């Protein structure tokens, strides 16, 4: 029945939106960034250049 088409499109849009949000949140919360180690922070070099003009 063509009269039921808008309800069908609305339900499909809602289902698609919910699955998209679910996968986006799963992707966001599944990533665990590695914490910076204190040894790597101490190894940073500062190249001091003594220019002799």
Looking at residue 45, its pLDDT comes to 66
Q: What is the dihedral of CA 35, 40, 42, 46, to 10 degrees?
A: -120
Looking at residue 9, its pLDDT comes to 86
Looking at residue 1, its pLDDT comes to 53
Looking at residue 39, its pLDDT comes to 61
Pair of tokens at residue 9? 């499109």
**Three-state SS string across the chain, please?**
CHHHHHHHHHHHHHHHHHHHHHHHHHHHHHCCCCCCCHHHHHCCCCCCCCCCC
pLDDT digits (tens, 9 = 90+) for 1-52: 566 677 788 899 999 999 999 999 999 988 777 877 766 555 556 777 777 7
pTM for this entry? 0.50
């Amino acid at each position: 029945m063509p009269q039921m088409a808008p309800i069908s499109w609305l339900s499909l849009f809602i289902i698609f939106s919910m699955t998209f949000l679910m996968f986006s949140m799963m992707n966001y919360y599944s990533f665990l960034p590695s914490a910076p180690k204190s040894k790597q922070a101490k190894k940073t070099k500062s190249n001091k250049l003594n220019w002799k003009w």
